[in-house]
Amino acid sequence: MSEHTQAQVKLDLDDIQRGVLSPRPTPYAATYILFRIDDREHGRELMRRVSAVVTSAADTVSPLGETWVSVALTYHGLKALGVPDESLDTFAWEFRQGMAARAATLSDIGESSPENWEPPLGTPDVHVALVALAPDSARLEAAIDRARPAYDALTGVTAIWRQNCHALPTETEPFGYRDGISHPAVEGSGIAGSNRLEAPLKAGEFVLGYPDELGGVQTPQPDVLGRNGTYVAFRKLHQRVGAFRRYLRDNATGPEDEELLAAKIMGRWRSGAPLALSPSHDDPGLDADPYRNSFLYQQDDPAGFITPGGSHIRRGNPRDAAVAGVPRLHRMIRRGTVYGPPLPEGILEDDGADRGLMFAFIGAHLGRQFEFVQSEWMNDGVFFGSGDAKDPILGSRDGSGDFIVPRRPVRRRLCSLPQFVVTRGGEYCFMPGLTALRWLGDLTD
């Protein structure tokens, strides 16, 4: 079925930025650089220059050799370039508002509220986001050094923020879990999904200008600007690694139970092996299995005795589980990139260093994909019959939340979960196609 469907869909891969559909290489170093546009003509020249180095989804080699570049713009960035109001009004309203204005919906409250964000994140000064990846930090810095004269010469464009990131040799995120395992198949992309039991999703779920799962086509206007673009939500998430380790230690009966609790909270063991395929112990050998992400819930684990309904990965993608709503309408392409130094093994107190994850969502529907998952699945439990319970990893809480581990004869309750992850900032962006980048560069007043 999927092969027949894929044959019917033709994506303009040579016009879609590579960062939209292609999983990141490993290992790699990455950097996020944000720019403010003070001079419209210089901003347009920046678009012309980056359009020559951004890699398309059809490219196997980057114009910059071993460095891959993606670029996206905020609503204020499009305005700064002089995109007409009648065009701006056709973009998703969540994008037009910006992430900071959506804080209540996203549960960015308390420590995570925008007034506590790292400047200039969440402000109208953020116009352009450029992401560059290379095999290691030395080659990344060399590429940035080569590119710097190109934007330093544009005095009307200023680099105002930078965050360096890297993939750890273990391919884990700061809490110690293997990351980047799950990604959906997109019709016409030619890239296999990680779950062979999941049918490819319609291209319009992730790329603007194509039919989505509901048969609709979302395309900001004019078509030359909107088609082959997508929306990106990026967030800087600070992780309290010491607090997470200490909570596991304090609530476990011993080292083996500590690892079991960690697996129940995430839905996977530290190696990335899913509880669904290895319920009682970690199985690092599954890493070599191309089908290690091919599992469902409804037939084998409807009540969550193996993978708790409230675990992080089951909330983020309930697969075929009986939940309120249609999970296929809320699928996301997700990228996570580590920043900051690792906390040494065995340390149970956070040392004050800034460490965590640069999270990026990619999809054509900010509202029913990213915002829905964040508000309804991560920060509520009604969808699977668990009241107001929140995600044990990402949930916004005041130290009073619980996490239930279904178990016979008596379920296990973890009480008073602290806040393990704090939002340090973020932005909603539009990632244009390559033709659209050139169109933005050719705008005139």
What are the tens digits of pLDDT across the range 394-412?
999 888 889 999 999 999 9
215, HSE (Cβ side, Cα atoms, 13 Å)? 0
Per residue in 6-51, pLDDT (tens digit) is 446 899 999 999 999 988 777 789 999 999 999 999 999 999 999 9
What's residue 168's pLDDT? 80
Distance CA 117, CA 97 (A): 17
pLDDT tens per residue across span 293-309 = 999 999 999 999 999 99
Q: What is the pLDDT of residue 1?
A: 37
Q: How far apart, in whole angstroms, are the C-alpha atoms of residue 303 and residue 411?
A: 12
Quick one: which of 383, 369, 377, 370 has its CA closest to 395? 377
Per-residue pLDDT for 385 more than 90? no
Tokens 């040494």, located at residue: 344
Q: Which backbone phi and psi does 404 adopt, to 5 degrees?
A: -100, 130
> What pLDDT is recorded for position 199?
95
pLDDT at 91: 98
pLDDT at position 8 is 64
pLDDT for the residue 335:
92
Query: Looking at the predicted structure, is the pLDDT value of residue 269 above 60?
Result: yes
CA 95 centroid distance within chain: 16
CA gap 173, 378 in Å, rounded: 19
In the predicted structure, residue 113 carries a pLDDT above the cut 60? yes
Give the whole-angstrom CA distance, residue 86 versus residue 221: 8
Element (H, E) at 51: helix 40-51
* Identity of residue 111: E
- Please name which of 237, 232, 229, 259 lies closest in space to residue 108, comparing C-alpha atoms: 237
Distance CA(406)–CA(265), nearest Å, equals 12
Residue in 403, 405, 376 with CA at minimum distance from that of residue 307? 405
> What was the pLDDT predicted at 320?
94
DSSP state at residue 222:
S
Per-residue pLDDT, 178 = 93
The amino acid at 232: V
User: What gap in Å lies between CA 332 and CA 290, rounded to an integer?
Assistant: 21
pLDDT exceeds 50 at position 73: yes
What residue type is assigned to position 54 of the chain? V
Q: CA-CA-CA-CA torsion for 85, 90, 95, 97, nearest 10 degrees?
A: 50
Mean pLDDT of the chain: 94
| Mean pLDDT, range 62-77, rounded to an integer | 91
Provide the pLDDT confidence category of residue 339 given band limits of 50, 70 and 90.
Answer: very high
Does the model's pTM come out above 0.85? yes
pLDDT above 70 covers a percentage of the chain that reads: 98
Reported as type and span, the H/E element at residue 431 is strand 421-431
